Amino acid sequence: MTLPSATPELYASYVTHMQQIADIKNALAVLQWDQETYLPPKGAAFRSRQMATLSETAHRLFTAPSVGSLLTELAGRQDLQGAQRTNVLLTLEDFTKQNKFSSSFIRSMSEAVSRSFHDWLAARKENRFGLFEQSLDALIGLKRQEADIIGYAAHPYDALLDEFEKGSTVQMLDGVFAGIRQPLKDLLDRIGGRPQVDDSFLRQFYPRQQQWDFGMDMIGRLGFDFEAGRQDISEHPFTTSFGCQDVRITTRVDQQDFGYMLWSCIHETGHALYEQGLPAGEYGLPSGEYASLSIHESQSRLWENHVGRSLPFWKYHFPRLQAVFPGQLGGISTEAFYRGINRVAPTLIRTEADELTYHFHVMVRYELEKLLMEGSLSTSDIPGCWRELYQRYLGLEPPDDRSGCLQDVHWSHGSFGYFPTYSLGSFYAAQFFQVAEYQRPEIQKEIPLGHSDKLLGWLRENIHRSGRLLKSEDLCLRATGQPLEMKYFLGYILDKYTNIYNL
């Protein structure tokens, strides 16, 4: 059908406006990235102001009445089809939600997040939650206001969960975690009855520069485009994007534990590959954005666990690693290395957790966030409740705040509702990887040879190219022929750890 002349012009006007807003948001993202990597301490106050101004400006431009009129007119045109129509409807949905917030609220939230982040850094350095408590309490208050402004049917936390995973609710997640909790506990009990695998070779002296060089080489081999991104050091590894042709990742290096750098490099590369795979021609539009946080996490967990912690992967890469660290790894076999990097044992730190106990770390944060958002837990009680839940779920009690409730950056960013997507992402990852291997058997052959082009190609075609046009469940259904099924994850971990621990 040939569109009436007004429709292409209106749609072009919509695209131009959305891309201008994206320009401002990405300039804000550059400031946020700099804040976590290179910002000098005295720059924090001005940075808070700069970021608040950009946040307020982007919000004002997006929620202007003229934008609402344009979107409403486009949404009412029956001749707008396909991705263009979906873009408009999704943007109209975002517009309606954002118009619930005043510009002053957006500015207050941005300023609160910036203060909270710098207080978190100071609190981690001093190992004292009290230095973070006041700004976190103010931020939690604002997040409760946000939930009230957005609105919810059952639980205030639902409003925040929906920001990261559309359609996600407390009722849904309670069911998901209830379904996975006992099978995980049963498998952990079986593993606990077997001799523990040795991973002591990871905790030796590994020089910083050699670790960095190996990590940089590794992420390049996985497909990270260094002409469209870079890696740096930060307190907490993260990925941010200023567009698919400028994606930044960070890692951290511990000279006494090689695992810190290795897994964060691979994990963040998974995020980055997704961002670099989004369609450049859809910049600023829903079709050029990631589908959801759980789909984003599926990409990082897939590359970290299904590829990076697999035996076929290390059959090629371990001799290379041994050549870099002959003194530390020269006497270790590939199979022993594989078992060691998949060692299962409760730990205090989420980012260091194995892929079985990891989900209990997520459950702790999920339970705390529910209580905080419903108002039944005060900010001052977070350290005590954290210790209680860790004792209940993992049989461990943090000796201090740094290894307890100060370990994650997410709350200082105001990212309440993010943590459950880590587990959902793991479940999606298992399903995506198994179906990808079935549909393209050559994937199984290429990984032991040091290649992953076929796998990345499958992800580009089935996950990345869709942007935000499909919800997580619909994307999963289209890519795998089924909605999310827990059997893929449960089958994967049972098969893998039965072999590693001779169950």
Question: CA gyration radius for the chain?
Answer: 23
Helix ranges (DSSP H) in 99-192: 103-126, 130-150, 156-164, 170-192
**What is the residue type of 430?**
A
Residue 257 DSSP one-character state: B
d(CA 460, CA 278): 8
Q: Which residues contact 312 (CB under 8 A, 6 or more apart)?
A: 444, 447, 448
Residue 374: in which H helix or E strand, if any? Answer: helix 358-374
CB contact at 8 A, 88 and 30:
no
**Active-site entry in 268, 297, 355, 367:** 268
Query: Which tokens sit at 80?
Result: 């707008």
d(CA 216, CA 296): 21
d(CA 421, CA 419): 5
Distance of CA 203 to the CA centre of its chain: 26
Find residue 250's DSSP bridge partners.
232
Q: Are strands 247-251 and 239-241 parallel, antiparallel or unpaired?
A: antiparallel
CB contact at 8 A, 401 and 394:
no
CB contact at 8 A, 283 and 25:
no
> Starting from the edge strand earliest in sequence, which strands make up the sheet with 247-251, in order?
229-233, 247-251, 239-241
CB contact at 8 A, 87 and 287:
yes
d(CA 81, CA 147): 33
Residue 302 DSSP one-character state: I
Closest CA to 428 of 313, 304, 302: 302
Determine whether 163 is an active site residue.
no
Q: At what angle do helices 44-62 and 6-37 cross, to 10 degrees?
A: 170
Closest CA to 346 of 172, 219, 196: 196
Which residues have a catalytic role annotated? 268
